[in-house]
Every structure is written in C-alpha cells, then in structure tokens.
C-alpha cells in the first residue's frame, strides 16, 4: 500500500492543499518513536493563518485513523504510526508475489531516454576510468528500463578523428603485423606512442598524419580499410570486457557514424548565422556565456569532436525523439558538453535542455592519475582479473562451493563494480584491495554475503508451517527491515531523479545491514513457535529478493553460496 498517498488523501479531505503537494511535504521521521511518517504543518500555517502547533493538534483529532496504529502530534508535526501487521503483510506479500519484478513500475511509459555510456577510444586500451562511465551508465540504463522508460543504450565509440590519420601513418612506418594480430591494442598503442615521440623530432610527421585523416574523411579506400581493421580489432577486445561485465548496448553508433551527417550541423549553424571565422577556423562564439568558442571546422575543413557531438545530438533527437538524453562522461569534459548544449540552444533547439551531462571523478591507485600518453595506465582487464584471482584465493578452502570459478568471477567483478557505484559519482575512487574484497564494511562482498546467508537459511528450512502471522514480526529490528524493504522503489526513483546510482547502492547496503541486524538478534530456524518460524522465513526470503533485485539494477550478480 502507498501510505504516503493514503495520508495525503486523509489530510486533503480536511484542508485546502492538493494531494500531490501534501505528498511532497510528508517526511520520514528521524526516529521510529516519532512514527513512520510525519506531516509538518508549516505550509498550512501560512494558508490557515494559525500556529502550526495548533493546526497539528486540531487536525490530528479530526483524522480518521483507520489503517493506522495511532496518529499523534508532536509540536508542528502530525506523526503517523502505521498498523505494523498490515504494513508487514502487504510489503512482504508484495515482494514474494512480484519476485524479480519487485521495484519496477511503469512511471516512464511512453517516454524514451537515451543513455550514452562507456564510449572508449578505438586503438586505445580500455582502462579503469572507462569502467566508471560503463558502470554508471549501465546502472542508469537498467533503472530507467525497470521504471518503464523506453531506454536506448548508446556506446559512442571514439572511432574518428585526426588520431586515426596519425595511426595510419604510424602503421605504415612501424607496425609489427604479428604483434598486431596477437595483441592488437598493445601494438596500436606502441606505434601511436612512437608516432608522438618521432613527431617531436620531425614535425612533418604531423602533416602526414593530418593528410591521412583528410584521406580517411573523403573516403579513400586504403585509409578506410586500415581504419576498419583497427576498429574491428579493438571492438573484439572491448567485447571481451563487456562480456565479463555483462554490459550490453542498443547502438554502437560512434563518432565515425556521423562523418556523413556533418552537413546538417553546418547548414543549421549557417542558417542561424552562428558560424563565424576565427583564426582560419569556423566557430560559434560563446563569449556572452563565458565560454571559449566552440570550434566546428578546423582550418583545413576537417570536423572535430564537438561537430560530431552536435551531429549525434541532432540524430538522436530525430531517431529516438527522446524525453531525456544522458551523457555519462568524465567531469573533465563538462565544458565541452556545456558548449555543445549551448550551441544547440542558440540554434533554436528547445530540447537542448533535455540533454544532460552526467560527470564522474577519477580512479586512483596510490597517488597517480591515469592517462594514456605516458604509458602509466591500469588496464581494466588487469583490475578485473586481479579481483577475480584474489577472490578465488579467499574462497579456495570453502568446500560447500561447487562452482568456485563462477563464484570467484561474480564476487570479484561485483566487488569492483560496487566500488565504482558506492559513492557519489563526482568523487574520486581510490582503490584499496583489502577494503574492496572484505566481507565487512560497506562492500560488494558484504552485501553478497548477506544474500548468500539468507539463501542458506532458506535452504536449511524444513517442515515449514503454512500458517504465518505478521503481527509476530514486532521487534524493532524486524519492522525497521520491513520498512527498508518497502522503500525500494522510492530509492530507485530518487537515484534516477539525481542520475546518481550510488543512492541505490547505499540503499542495498542498508538492506544488507538491516538483514544482518535482524539475523544477529533473532533465531529463524531454531524456534519452538512454528508460526513465528514460518513468518520470519518469509522476511528472510523477501530480504534476499530485494538484495538480488537491487544488485541486478547495479549490474551485479548474486551467488547462492559463498
């Protein structure tokens, strides 16, 4: 049951304030002694010209308390205590009936959301920073889908740009074909780094690179064939990582896809008189908005990153008619997106306001920042493999686990994803293995362990009575846990509203903690009272279901034993 709504309707029948407005004002009191929901009367005080304390006292007496244990007032607040038995029964039965669908809704029906995430660069390693966008985007994608939105997951591959001209030049000069087949990205990176070193000594190399890119842009066959080979080889490597992570996309339309869709951008900007020449380049001036100009065409007429993003935005609007278009890209690119969205707005696209950049911080090990130029990068492959190996080592002596390899993979990968999604995304991540893989503290393994523990109780339960009595779940620990389970959907919606998966991660941690508090305080299997045992088992089952559903939305698998 939707108690907030019920309370709002109850209050609405007595005062002149809309149901929705009242619903927004309803709070969850900080302490259970203050009830389960509270309505502050300050707003009413303005309308009714009466002290909020007095309104609370009068109104409390007028409200019909059916379905509630009691309604009290404390100062300017009306506190609602729900009928615990009803609440527990409704919540647990709903979870056990809806199972994997619990938490879903159709609030987004008829609305399309584009979520762009991952977007690695071809011929460059998939490093630990890319998992940040991949994990956040994947979680947002799953959450939007769960709430009924038509969701389009886009991998905007970095597969176009002057660097591909340089790569072709480097390929022609220095490639080791054998190495390219064996370790494509390593070899492409090696010749790319070499190109930059050599170009410092011989600047004419830069011109050669530019010429090759020009050839590529105008459809030169040889250049195109080489580009395609680099792209295919890289994609194969990326796919391996996506398979480990269980991440999928609906579209792989990357930067190259827009090569032949640039005219629309140029025409639009010309038509609106936005394009001006500056130092030989064509730009849109943004000084009125305190931003540097947005470069559209370089001196040699080649398009750049921003041009392709403008083309992509127009294409996505035309193709998907999105309600929102989200870009999960590191915070260092915040200015780029502000410029792109501003140019769209100046060009009269009122939907520019629906384009949202979702930024995130850096990934650090000890104290070095990751970059691709100086070779000091940490590959995601290595990170995931390390996590899996370390986990395998931790569980190696546990004889109850039959499928150790699979379990090590799920826990190891899950622990890494969890670390990325645990704190607000703008914060930097500092990796510390002891912390990440510990089953104590706020970690992936901690939550997964709570799930496995619950499943183990359910497996061991025998001769369970068919009779349950929810009034028996009357301890503080039990009722707090049930209240947490009930608020799952609310936290998904909150996470979507703030485009912040960590809100859901924190919620899942709360469920695991609540479950452990309950389990540490009370027996479940060792009980004389068969009805109490059956009822507590329902709570155990409901808790495991919510942990499973919550982790699934974050892109993390559960394990039955660990």
Residues that bind ligand ARG (CB under 6 A): 116, 119-121, 156, 158, 309, 327, 329
Helices and strands, number each (H, E), in the chain: 22, 12
In this structure, what are the phi and psi dihedrals at residue 358, rounded to the nearest 5 degrees? Answer: -105, 105
Give me the half-sphere count of Cα atoms (radius 13 Å) on the Cβ side of residue 91: 32
CB-CB contact of 76 with 56 (8 Å)? yes
List active site positions. Answer: 124, 127, 130
Query: Nearest to ligand ARG by Cβ — which residue?
Result: 158
Three-state SS sequence of 110-171: CCEEEEECCCCECCCCCEHHHHHHHHHHHHHHHHHHHCCCEEEEECCCECCCHHHHHHHHHH
Please state, as a whole number, how many other Cβ atoms lie within 10 Å of the Cβ of residue 232. Answer: 11
b/e code 163-187 from CB counts within 10 Å (16+ = b): bbbbbbbbbeeebeeeebeeebbeb
CB-CB contact of 395 with 407 (8 Å)? yes
Quote the CA–CA distance of 55 and 73 in Å, as a whole number: 10
Residue 382: CB minimum distance to ligand ARG, A: 19
The DSSP output letter for 398 is -
Instruction: Give the tokens for residue 247.
Output: 């991440």
Quote the CA–CA distance of 431 and 248 in Å, as a whole number: 25
Instruction: Give the tokens for residue 14.
Output: 């007595």
CB-CB contact of 28 with 3 (8 Å)? no
Quote the CA–CA distance of 358 and 499 in Å, as a whole number: 7
Residue 116: CB minimum distance to ligand ARG, A: 6
Using DSSP, state whether 65 is helix, strand or coil: coil
CA gyration radius, the chain: 28
Residue 121: CB minimum distance to ligand ARG, A: 5
Residue 339: CB minimum distance to ligand ARG, A: 11
Q: Which residue lies nearer to ligand ARG by CB, 88 or 163?
A: 163
């Amino acid at each position: 049951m939707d108690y907030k709504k019920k309370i709002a309707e109850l209050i609405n029948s007595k005062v002149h304030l809309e149901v929705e407005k009242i619903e927004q004002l309803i709070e969850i009191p900080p302490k259970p002694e203050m009830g389960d929901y509270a309505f502050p009367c300050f707003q009413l005080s303005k309308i009714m010209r009466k002290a909020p304390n007095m309104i609370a006292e009068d109104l409390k007496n007028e409200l019909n308390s059916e379905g509630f244990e009691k309604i009290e007032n404390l100062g300017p607040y009306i506190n609602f205590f729900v009928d615990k038995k009803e609440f527990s029964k409704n919540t647990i039965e709903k979870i056990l009936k809806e199972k994997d669908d619990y938490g879903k809704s159709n609030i987004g029906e008829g609305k399309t959301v584009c979520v762009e995430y991952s977007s690695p660069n071809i011929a460059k390693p998939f490093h630990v920073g890319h998992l940040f966008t991949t994990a956040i985007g994947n979680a947002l994608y799953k959450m939007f889908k769960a709430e009924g939105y038509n969701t389009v997951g886009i991998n905007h591959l970095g597969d176009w740009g002057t660097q591909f001209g340089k790569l072709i030049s480097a390929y022609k000069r220095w490639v080791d074909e054998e190495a390219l087949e064996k370790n494509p990205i390593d070899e492409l990176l090696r010749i790319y780094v070499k190109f930059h070193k050599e170009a410092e000594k011989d600047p004419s190399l830069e011109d050669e690179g530019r010429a090759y890119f020009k050839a590529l842009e105008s459809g030169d066959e040889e250049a195109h064939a080489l580009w395609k080979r680099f792209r295919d080889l890289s994609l194969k490597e990326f796919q391996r990582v996506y398979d480990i992570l269980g991440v999928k996309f609906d579209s792989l339309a990357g930067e190259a896809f827009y090569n032949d869709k640039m005219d629309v951008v140029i025409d639009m900007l010309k038509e609106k008189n936005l394009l001006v020449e500056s130092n030989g380049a064509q730009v849109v001036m943004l000084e009125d908005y305190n931003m540097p100009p947005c470069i559209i065409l370089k001196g040699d007429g080649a398009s750049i990153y921003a041009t392709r993003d403008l083309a992509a935005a127009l294409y996505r609007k035309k193709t998907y008619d999105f309600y929102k278009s989200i870009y999960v890209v590191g915070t260092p690119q915040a200015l780029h997106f502000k410029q792109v969205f501003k140019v769209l707005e100046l060009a009269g696209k009122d939907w520019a306001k629906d384009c949202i950049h979702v930024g995130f911080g850096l990934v650090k090990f000890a104290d070095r920042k990751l970059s691709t130029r100086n070779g000091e990068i940490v590959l995601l492959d290595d990170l995931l493999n390390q996590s899996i190996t370390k986990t395998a080592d931790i569980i190696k002596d546990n004889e109850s686990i039959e499928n150790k390899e699979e379990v090590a993979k799920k826990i190891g990968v899950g622990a890494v994803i969890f670390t990325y999604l645990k704190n607000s995304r703008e914060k930097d991540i500092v990796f510390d293995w002891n912390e990440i893989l510990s089953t104590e503290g706020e970690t992936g393994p901690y939550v997964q362990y709570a799930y496995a523990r619950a499943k183990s109780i359910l497996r061991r339960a025998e001769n369970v009575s068919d009779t349950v009595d929810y009034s028996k779940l009357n301890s503080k620990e039990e009722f707090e846990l049930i209240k947490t389970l009930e608020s799952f959907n609310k936290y998904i919606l909150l996470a979507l509203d703030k485009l912040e998966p960590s809100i859901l991660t924190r919620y899942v941690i709360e469920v695991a903690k609540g479950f452990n508090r309950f389990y540490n305080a009370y027996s479940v299997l060792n009980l004389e009272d068969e009805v109490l045992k059956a009822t507590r088992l329902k709570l155990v089952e409901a808790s495991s279901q919510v942990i499973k559903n919550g982790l699934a939305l974050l892109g993390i698998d559960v394990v039955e034993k660990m």
